[in-house]
Amino acid sequence: MADRDEKPEVMLEDVKLEKVWDEKACKDVPGWAGKTLEKALGNKIEIVSSKPKAGFILRSAIELIIFDEKKGELSAAMSVIVMDADKSLKASLSTKGGLKGIDAKNLQKKLQKLVETLADKCGKDAADEILAAAKGK
């Protein structure tokens, strides 16, 4: 079954939420990030629900979300660690971004957009690392 089109298996751990300015405002962030991360990995990777014997594990975290109400700025940082099944580090990826012109009315929508943008970038970068590591085995 080791044909060329075999997809590497990846288990996604739940996205951890670290430093945020408001727990209540950010309660949906891990869900948004997780769904986007899974989508961004693409169809060349198979998502599994338990630890794969020969695949990979993705550990991700939203490290920081800051909302400066006076300046109307929202910023965030996300990291993803790619490990093999033995929890040996294969890649450590991170990205950060921000949005300006944020007010209380559009905060949730803009927060979701920012988180999904970061998760999409991390997911695509992680997919590249996973595919490269799978070919190197």
- Mean pLDDT by runs of 10 across the 137 residues of the chain is 69 94 93 95 90 90 94 95 90 95 90 96 94 82
Whether 1 maps to a domain, the answer reads: no
Per the structure, the complete domain to which residue 90 belongs is given by 9-136
Whether 57 maps to a domain, the answer reads: yes
- Residues facing 12 on adjacent strands: 58
Looking at residue 104, what is its pLDDT? 84
Whether 43 maps to a domain, the answer reads: yes
Looking at residue 87, what is its pLDDT? 84
Q: Is 61 helix (H, G, I), strand (E, B) or coil?
A: strand
CATH number at residue 25: 3.40.50.10610
Between CA 79 and CA 133 the distance in angstroms is 19
Looking at residue 1, what is its pLDDT? 36
Between CA 40 and CA 119 the distance in angstroms is 8
Whether 67 maps to a domain, the answer reads: yes
Count up the domains in the chain and report the number. 1
CA dist 117 → 7, 32, 84 (Å): 25, 10, 25
CA-nearest of 43, 44, 54, 52 to 13 is 52
Looking at residue 118, what is its pLDDT? 97
Whether 82 maps to a domain, the answer reads: yes
Whether 61 maps to a domain, the answer reads: yes
Whether 4 maps to a domain, the answer reads: no
Report yes or no: 127 and 40 within 8 Å, Cβ to Cβ.
Answer: yes
Whether 120 maps to a domain, the answer reads: yes
Q: Is 5 helix (H, G, I), strand (E, B) or coil?
A: coil
Looking at residue 3, what is its pLDDT? 46
Looking at residue 2, what is its pLDDT? 45
Q: Torsion over CA of 87, 15, 35 and 82, rounded to 10 degrees?
A: -20
